[in-house]
Amino acid sequence: MRKIQMVDLVTQYQDIKTEVLDSFSQILENASFINGPEVHGFQKDLENYLGVKHVIPCANGTDALQIAMMGLGLKPGDEVITADFTFAATAEVIALLQLTPVLVDVDPHTFNIDPEAIRKAITTKTKAIVPVHLFGQCAPMEEIMEIAKEHDIYVIEDNAQAIGANYRFGDGRLQKAGALGDVGATSFFPSKNLGCYGDGGAIFTNDDDLAHIIRGIVNHGMYERYHHDVVGVNSRLDSLQAAVLRAKLPHLDRYCEKRREAARAYNSAFRNHPEITIPTTVRECEGICDTCDCHVFHQYTLRIGGGKRDGLAEHLAASGIPFGIYYPIPLHRQKAYLDKRYAEGDFPVTNQLCKEVISLPMHTELDDEQIQHITRAVLEFMGG
Ligand SMILES: *Cc1c(COP(=O)(O)O)cnc(C)c1O
């Protein structure tokens, strides 16, 4: 059996090796490292794939979120609502821009931001909501967009974990994650579903004016050479990374399907266990999501009941099986994001999830033998 890894990028590389090396060689021969044709080509390819008017590549996913907020003209003191159960980058950029992060609880089944909690958190200072499409499945965007419309506030999608996922509206219409809100941000960190071989990110929008503003911000606030109209940043996707992404994008749907295959195999092993809760799919997709493309399983995350999560983690570690705890500490309890406005009772779900979640190896190269080995080890400890 091949060694089990949390993410196996080495085996995945073999498939696109020739193409990547050919592109690298061309870029090295031309020394077109910055703003080369690969970057523009990738931008166009991704616009087509997502069905979005503008993709603006940038240096990483954290920058993408920050630049999106700068582009919308959010000002110090503006409140931005986001999920308590997420990676810190989301709240970090809000705080960095001197906006006020307002963390709210999530749904116990999908792990995504809870629309009711958003409603309760809205004040006259609220200017934006940042739903995170956690673990590869969209937050309830139809409800979130409705709330945003009612209160005239922006929606910025943190799509770092769900590129390639579809969102199904109540009327059956499908749209790609990241292209639903006013603006979307994604990361091409190597372990993401569409990852490059270093850092990378992108911002998406259908708004021509916003796209123009953002294109200036990523390039030192320049709209005309050496004329700096706004304070910007330097945030670029380089040509080598764009070449990797261009080679991988045509495979993204297949990569997502490989992840879903692994998820289905895990699901059938754990579905009937009384202390294991398998990942739940969104309400709109109830019953069909096992085979449809609304979940791209960036992570395959179980909830372990009976206070057995940490014991299971130790057992897996002893068995040489990698796992992840995403996330062990709620953001509202992180020193950097403490705020008097929060009470522990505001976050019952996140607090519980942090004690119960465990993510199993999930990537495009898992085979049946490896999955069996993993499920056997989990059930060995959990019984059944
Ligand atoms: C990875 C990630 C980011 C940050 O992306 P980087 O490219 O590492 O800066 C932001 N938000 C979420 C939810 C992520 O998973």
Mean residue pLDDT across the chain: 95
- Region 220-241: mean pLDDT is 96
Judge contact between 328 and 301, C-beta under 8 A: no
Is the Cα torsion angle 217, 220, 225, 230 positive or negative in sign? positive
Do 219 and 273 lie in one domain? The reply is: no
Do 231 and 320 lie in one domain? The reply is: no
pLDDT at 290: 52
Of 219, 250, 281, which closes a domain? 250
Is 316 a member of any domain? yes
Do 197 and 136 lie in one domain? The reply is: yes
Judge whether residue 321 has pLDDT over 70.
yes
Judge whether residue 32 has pLDDT over 70.
yes
Burial 175-204 (b: 16+ CB within 10 A, else e): bbbbbbbbbbbbbbbeebbbbbbebbbbbb
- 88-105 per-position pLDDT tens digit: 999 999 999 999 999 999
Judge contact between 123 and 150, C-beta under 8 A: no
Judge whether residue 244 has pLDDT over 90.
yes
Do 104 and 221 lie in one domain? The reply is: yes
pLDDT at 285: 56
Do 90 and 59 lie in one domain? The reply is: yes
Is 3 a member of any domain? no
Do 158 and 276 lie in one domain? The reply is: no
Give the SS3 label for residue 208: helix
Confidence tier at 117 by pLDDT (50, 70, 90) = very high
Do 239 and 267 lie in one domain? The reply is: no
Of 194, 226, 250, which closes a domain? 250
pLDDT at 338: 96
Q: Determine the structural domain holding residue 16 and report its residue range.
A: 9-250
pLDDT at 173: 87
Do 201 and 327 lie in one domain? The reply is: no
Judge contact between 299 and 191, C-beta under 8 A: no
Do 354 and 282 lie in one domain? The reply is: yes
Q: What is the CATH number of the domain that holds 51?
A: 3.40.640.10
Q: Which of 66, 112, 189 maximizes ligand 1 atoms within 8 Å of its Cβ, making it the mutation to test the pocket? A: 189
Count of structural domains within the chain: 2
Do 38 and 108 lie in one domain? The reply is: yes
pLDDT at 146: 98
Is 1 a member of any domain? no
Judge whether residue 282 has pLDDT over 80.
no
Do 80 and 91 lie in one domain? The reply is: yes
Q: Which residues line ligand 1 (CB under 6 A)?
A: 60-62, 86-87, 89-90, 132, 158, 160-161, 187, 189, 199, 201
d(CA 157, CA 174): 16
pLDDT at 172: 82
118 CA to middle of ligand 1, Å?
Answer: 22
The more confident residue out of 33 and 287 is 33
Nearest alpha carbon to residue 185 among 147, 243, 235:
235
Judge contact between 242 and 36, C-beta under 8 A: yes
* Shortest-distance Cα residue to atom 10 of ligand 1: 89
d(CA 318, CA 296): 29
Do 113 and 52 lie in one domain? The reply is: yes
